[in-house]
Structure 1
Amino acid sequence: MFKKFSTEEVSAQNQVKASVQRKIRQSIADEYPGLEQVLEDLIPKKSPLIVAKCQNHLNLVVVNNVPLFFNIRDGPYMPTLRLLHQYPDIMKKLQVDRGAIRFVLSGANIMCPGLTSPGGSLDDEVGAETPVAIMAEGKQHALAIGFTKMSAKEIRDINKGIGVDNMHYLNDGLWKSGYIVALATSLSFAAY
């Protein structure tokens, strides 16, 4: 998704009204109950919340010039990896074996055998079409954020094909340009 992402893909940026900001905050609070304690710090009510619309129906939620969440076509909000590294327990986690790491870091989707092999791990509570953090065997931080195509039980039973769509991974375009997007956002509002 963000393999070749750059600031040129941002087509519009809007500071949202307070009612839209409340809706976004509530949606994020419902999706990630682990963030309730720090949600006021992440998205302060008095601070402007900017939604940057990008190509491919992608929206970035930018607060204080830092991209924090993204969603696609009004789907669930997913945190950026930088935010996930700050708050690692906000998402359900799946773990890939060591052999899958280099493929995930090059943008490949996560295949079922990489999750069911001895180095992999599944959370049985994960359902289909759920945002998840992709962890790696022997590593402390998440290396990707994905969207499950099937439930953990189906991944284990079928053990074939794509189990998780890779949405955002370390060193992809969003990771590299996370602060560039923030800079572009602040510069465009400074012009007014």
Structure 2
Amino acid sequence: MPLVVPGVTNQSGDKTEQWTNKLVGKQLHDGHESNETTDLDNHLQLFAKKELPESHRVIQPGQMVTKDFNPDRLNVHVKEDGTVSHVTHVSSRLQNSITSAPRSKLKSSVQRSLRGSLLSTYPLLEPVIDEVLPKKASLEQMKLPDRASLYVLDGEPVFFQHDGNTLLPHLKLVHRFPAAFPTVRIDRGAIRFVLSGATLMAPGLTSQGGRLPEPREVSEEDGGEGVDAEGHWSRELEKDEPVVIMAEGKEHACAVGLLVAGTKEVKDKGKGPVVEEAHFLGDGLWKLNLD
């Protein structure tokens, strides 16, 4: 029988937190012992695979997976040595069809706070912030699945966030102001995976067609940080930092999300997940009808 975890609710985030606490740093094994067992030779705690929920999959480093909508399946990501690095549940329902919901107008104080957060997270937006979010704008908030919110201005999507976390730009905003957001570039072979909702893996960025940052000296006279002629961003990007995903041979960005590994780590290891749960061209957020 699968292990029953007390307190797990129907919220994917709650389940994920529960399993994160139980699995991260432990090594999966095929024995019958519980997760209290310790491998004394390697100083590792072990977790029996039989105690994982019935609906689960173990994802090896570099393994490409698609994200079909299965809200109860546990995705267990393991490192080279077999220890669990992190866990996830279903891909965000924002990747699937979304039904338009009522919008509510935000108070001026809330709009000022959001404007400040945008500039703090994306300082390159400053020259165009009055176009993105005018001070006297009538910004509206739409509640979305998975405790997400979409912010809409004059019928156009501007940015969104999950459960009050980092503000992420909608791709339509990225296409209007492409120079305002840090970027990486995937090779042609990775495009179909990213546009199907799969996790972006390191090989799609480290190959000949991919582009990761190449740090260099920049100055205000040169316009500050940005991409060079070859498509390399001017500084390393950190884990949990927002990033826009460009594609080899394409003019416009194809996805945006949060880094689960810093770009220097991606270069050093050359494998593993880089961006999960991205908002991509053709997903539910892109197709959402705001009329």
TM-score (norm 1): 0.87
Q: Distance in 2 between matches of 1:144 and 1:168?
A: 5
1:93-132 matched pairs, under 5 angstroms: 93-123=183-213, 124-132=235-243
For residues 172 and 162 of structure 1, what CA distance do their matches in structure 2 show?
Answer: 20
Matched letter for residue 172 of structure 1: D
Answering whether residue 115 of structure 2 is matched by residue 4 of structure 1, we say: no
**Is 2:105 aligned against 1:45?**
no
8 Å Cα contact 1:110/1:166 also seen in 2? no
Residue aligned with 2:143, SS: strand
Contact 2:184 2:244 in 1 (8 A): yes
Corresponding residue of 2:265: 154
Runs of 4 or more consecutive aligned structure 1 residues displaced over 6 Å after TM superposition: none
Contact 1:145 1:166 in 2 (8 A): no
Shift of 1:95: 0.8
8 Å Cα contact 1:62/1:68 also seen in 2: yes
d(CA) in 2 for partners of 1:104 and 1:165? Answer: 10
- 2:148 is equivalent to residue 58 of structure 1: yes
The whole-number CA distance in structure 2 between the counterparts of 1:5 and 1:157 is: 37
2:278 counterpart residue number: 167
Offset from partner CA, 1:73-107 (integer Å, 9 cap, x none)? 22211111111011101111111111101111111
Per-residue Cα deviation, 1:102-145 (whole angstroms, up to 9, x for no partner): 11111111001111111111125100001101011121111111
Partners of 1:152 and 1:142 in 2: CA distance:
18
Q: AA paired with 1:6? A: I
Using the size of structure 2 for normalisation, the TM-score is: 0.58
Task: Report the secondary structure of 1:154's partner residue.
Answer: helix
Tell me which residue corresponds to 2:69. none
Residue 17 of structure 1 is matched in structure 2 by 107
Offset, 1:157:
1.7
CA distance in structure 2 between the aligned counterparts of 1:78 and 1:60, rounded to whole angstroms: 10
Distance 1:27 1:5, change over 3 A: farther
Gaps of 5+ in 2: 1-91, 214-234
Deviation string, structure 1 residues 125-177 (Cα, Å, up to 9, x no partner): 10000110101112111111121001011111222221111421111111122
Taking CA–CA contacts closer than 8 Å with sequence separation of 6 or more, which of the two structures ends up with the larger relative contact order?
Answer: 1
Secondary structure of the structure 2 residue equivalent to 1:165: strand
Structure 2 counterpart of 1:150, one-letter code: A
Superposition CA RMSD, Å: 1.5
Question: Contact 2:260 / 2:273 at 8 angstroms: preserved in 1?
Answer: yes
More helix by share: 1
Max Rg structure: 2
> Retained in 2: the 8 A contact 1:16–1:50?
yes
Letter in 1 for 2:284: G
Q: Determine which of 245, 248, 259 is the counterpart of 1:137.
A: 248
- Name the CA distance, whole Å, in 2 between partners of 1:127 and 1:90: 17
Could you say which residue in structure 1 is the equivalent of 2:182?
A: 92
Letter in 1 for 2:207: S
Q: Which residue of 2 aligns with 1:188?
A: none
Which sits farther off after the overlay, 154-163 or 14-23?
Answer: 154-163
Q: CA deviation at 1:28?
A: 0.6
Aligned AA (1:156): K
Contact 1:53 1:60 in 2 (8 A): yes
CA distance in 1, matches of 2:240, 2:276: 10
**Distance in 1 between the 2:116 and 2:161 partners?**
15
Task: Find the counterpart in structure 2 of residue 187 from structure 1.
Answer: none
Q: Offset at 1:44?
A: 2.0
